[in-house]
Structure 1
């Protein structure tokens, strides 16, 4: 397979279109980058910023693509051979982001994605958890509630033949948001909202709730859906994303082959571990035992928080990596719209609160209205073996710590743009790293870790397969159940998410493998000067780069 660095050596070598101006090449590039990231136009002017329903319109999508196209043209006047290596890499990041913005217009998201018009997730993020929202936060919530009915009206005007699966997901999410506005939201308002805003919030929530119900009924009973597999992006677009956006030397076909290879290796590792645990039982039988060990209903979030604290403590005691000051991680319930696509939970990014970088770890717990069988299936899914691994993957030293480092990066391009192949590869690297450091303390931790790796290798097979017609939705679900041992609801949640985010699912395994290869190359380069702490801090301080560009940055520049 081609090395990641080889594929883009020509582009990094330089684009030599001259731009005759007194402005230096470096200054021109930085000005263009700042304008693009700040939402200004190529000439530096600020575009008109309308209400959220306008920003979600078909016309706005077209305008955004035209804006990105204008920046692409301007970027060609930057002679990249005159830039530093760091600026060349930033040029590549921006160029890929602009090209994707232009290309994504063909996906017609405004017409095909009903979930786009369910904007109440921002409310749940803003006021959930133990913290007390500020008055400004509550005013923003009030604005969102008042705009939500208008946004859903925009959706009714724009939606055309969306995939039936996406319609079903939006119908279910709308129903859950109705329940949220009926019960959870009023309780939070009564406890935390400023007295002078409570009546306005209650009135706006009631209007949003009525609009949600109308939108739900419209989606369910009136909107004509498209073809069953209309969510698939096709082989040509999938391959374009891999090569041009993620900077990877893969096609859908070669990625599936790599996935099958690593899948077989992981199956063998699971069988070897099972023999060490119990010579007469299969790994599948042991996994069934592991699923019976789980928190009680309502205690799942606390279990994640406890394991995350244990991971952070180990990192500190062993001085594995520097954790920057002024950061924290809070744990909140999964937003209603995400419950059918995130069976376990996930990382919701950072918000700045009182000068503290506050990460949000959302967890899918038991909720009112679940049947007895649904509760049992969710508890088996949220078993302690998986909780231990997911806690470090999403929190410390995984996504949260990586996001903290990204926020602190001096290059605006790298603090704003990122690669899922680095981000997920980093989190998977952390699982192996923490395992070597002794974080996994019993057989279920180790078994859960390897079963989760099998889950990730299955993703490398499934994602390109469903988007290129090699596998149906139902076949993908059954593959997860039969090959990995997932519960059906978890398998469906997985495949639901892949339909909305092509090329993301393989990033865990592919990114991890490339980071391990880079680590080996760095060790050879530095010899006795190499330490794991130095390596991981170099990775995070470089930024969330596509692995081809990460490799160039670390191997072609002097290391301390």
Structure 2
């Protein structure tokens, strides 16, 4: 495992440094076609080698099978290579590698600037590789358009936002000077992408989608069965919400009830951030008082505006975990600010989808005992590969599972917050239906947007942003409710207390559900 991780980190220095591994902060790595192809060959060799590896314990077997699940998923995706289809892997690597270190501040500022300057020098090469690698027959216009939206933020991010995060004037000037050639490379990428003609599809197809569910996520079923599970979950939640809506507006029309609740929202983006911060503190106290989990020593969750470069592509709250290979236990709950070019009406719609009734569920999901508690606690696991690899089918499943736990504990203590809690859940059921249908060619983008706007209480603009994300990130959207249902099923077989179950299954990592069940019930 150590030998494998050494290869893995050397091949992916951006991932390694984000995990907190030492020695990888100075480079972005090799993004040429030759590097991608070499990586694929090496992954196949590692599967062959690790498959024959003898194991001495259940924990060793789980570690091996965790790595194999990730490698098998990666090999399966070679038939659908993102590096030839989308600018995303290149642009995101640049932005996250430069932004996250200054946001997390785990090293002296001089060291952060030195590493950033070294990486900035490599940006033109990475973006040139993007232009060389994109295949007009494979790249989809939708994915390229997303890439343009991110790339357009490049100059401002590199020359203004990033230097503004440096306090020392001399270091700030050094960083700003190094940023200009990188900003010019982003300008050139925007021009290239705007003129890039392509005709590929963003649809993954049922065969590969099902392969990923079975091989990478270790679920016992494929896309068709998952689609039916989503429909059944939606119908069950719809019936429950009709009953709860009676306490909100006196009718069974829960969509109308949610529409009225969404009118009660913070007046500004900063007010939204401040109210989320207060709700996060309340959730932590509630979880601690009820003894539902054991907290990691020194953990802290900051609540901040979302990063500028994520605003064109992420319209919902999200979380940045502490680097699990570091000593930090500080995570960041990012509140979904809008891009600067949004109109007042678009900003209002974003505020409406973060209404005061919805805030308790979202804070529980992102912070306590959702993502922040889980990822700060699991960072204490002594087994390194458990910190390196995790699947959204556990991490997102966990965050939705604990929303239900807190509902059972009485956290959502008004009809309004209870309905909003169920709305968050039915939204995830709708995601299952839409994502599987989109990628298995059973639903158009327009039909998907209508479904999300009518089967969940999303504004048309938010529904459009959500569906765009599903097109670009197949299999991720169903992970929330799928994982929550599976964790609930495992919980029914566990004989200890709720706290013991939570500490054990979440502390074991972010494992594929089949492995999580082994770890919890061993």
Tell me the TM-score normalized by structure 1.
0.85
Deviation at 1:453?
A: 0.8
Question: 1:352, 1:108 → 2: CA distance?
Answer: 28
Alignment pair present for 1:108 and 2:81: yes
1:8 corresponding residue in structure 2: none
Within a 5 Å distance, the mapping from 1:55-454 to structure 2 comes to: 55-80=30-55, 83-118=56-91, 119-128=94-103, 134-161=109-136, 162-181=139-158, 183-189=160-166, 192=167, 194-220=168-194, 222-227=195-200, 230-280=201-251, 282-297=253-268, 298-351=270-323, 355-454=327-426
Question: 1:244, 1:485 → 2: CA distance?
Answer: 33
Deviation at 1:203?
A: 1.7
Deviation at 1:212?
A: 1.7
Question: 1:477, 1:264 → 2: CA distance?
Answer: 19
Alignment pair present for 1:500 and 2:472: yes
2:486 corresponding residue in structure 1: 514
Question: 1:268, 1:487 → 2: CA distance?
Answer: 22
Deviation at 1:134?
A: 2.3
Deviation at 1:535?
A: 1.4
User: SS at the partner of 2:220?
Assistant: coil
Query: Unaligned regions of 5+ residues in structure 1, if any?
Result: 1-29, 42-48
Using a 3 Å threshold, how does the CA distance of structure 1 residues 358 and 51 change in structure 2: closer, same or farther?
A: closer
Question: 1:150, 1:36 → 2: CA distance?
Answer: 22
2:15 corresponding residue in structure 1: none
Q: Cα deviation per residue 1:390-426 (whole Å; 9 max; x = unaligned)?
A: 1110111111111122211122221211122121111
1:463 aligned to which of 422, 435, 442:
435
Deviation at 1:470?
A: 0.9
Which segment drifts farther, 132-141 or 475-484?
Answer: 132-141
Query: Does the CA contact (< 8 Å) of 1:37 and 1:413 recur in 2?
Result: no
Query: Does the CA contact (< 8 Å) of 1:170 and 1:337 recur in 2?
Result: no
Deviation at 1:38?
A: 5.1
Question: 1:53, 1:132 → 2: CA distance?
Answer: 18
Question: 1:32, 1:199 → 2: CA distance?
Answer: 40
User: SS at the partner of 2:323?
Assistant: strand
User: SS at the partner of 1:385?
Assistant: coil
Deviation at 1:366?
A: 4.2
Q: How many residues align?
A: 507
Question: 2:399, 2:385 → 1: CA distance?
Answer: 21
Which segment drifts farther, 508-517 or 148-157?
Answer: 148-157
Using a 3 Å threshold, how does the CA distance of structure 1 residues 202 and 79 change in structure 2: closer, same or farther?
A: closer
Using a 3 Å threshold, how does the CA distance of structure 1 residues 170 and 351 change in structure 2: closer, same or farther?
A: same
Question: 2:10, 2:180 → 1: CA distance?
Answer: 34
Deviation at 1:350?
A: 1.4
Query: Does the CA contact (< 8 Å) of 1:173 and 1:336 recur in 2?
Result: no
Hey, which bits of structure 1, 4+ residues long, moved more than 6 A? 129-133
Query: Does the CA contact (< 8 Å) of 1:123 and 1:141 recur in 2?
Result: yes
Q: Cα deviation per residue 1:497-534 (whole Å; 9 max; x = unaligned)?
A: 22232212111111111111111122xxx3xxx32112
2:16 corresponding residue in structure 1: none
User: SS at the partner of 2:514?
Assistant: helix
Which segment drifts farther, 295-304 or 236-245?
Answer: 295-304
CA RMSD of aligned residues (A): 2.6
Q: Cα deviation per residue 1:154-178 (whole Å; 9 max; x = unaligned)?
A: 2222222221111111111122233
Alignment pair present for 1:554 and 2:514: no
Question: 1:362, 1:179 → 2: CA distance?
Answer: 20
Query: Does the CA contact (< 8 Å) of 1:149 and 1:208 recur in 2?
Result: yes
Q: Cα deviation per residue 1:421-463 (whole Å; 9 max; x = unaligned)?
A: 1211111111011122232243332121111111000011111
Question: 1:40, 1:384 → 2: CA distance?
Answer: 44
Deviation at 1:126?
A: 2.8
User: SS at the partner of 2:153?
Assistant: helix
Question: 1:130, 1:445 → 2: CA distance?
Answer: 36
Query: Does the CA contact (< 8 Å) of 2:322 and 2:328 recur in 1?
Result: no
User: SS at the partner of 1:296?
Assistant: coil
User: SS at the partner of 1:331?
Assistant: strand
Question: 1:549, 1:352 → 2: CA distance?
Answer: 20
Query: Unaligned regions of 5+ residues in structure 2, if any?
Result: 13-23
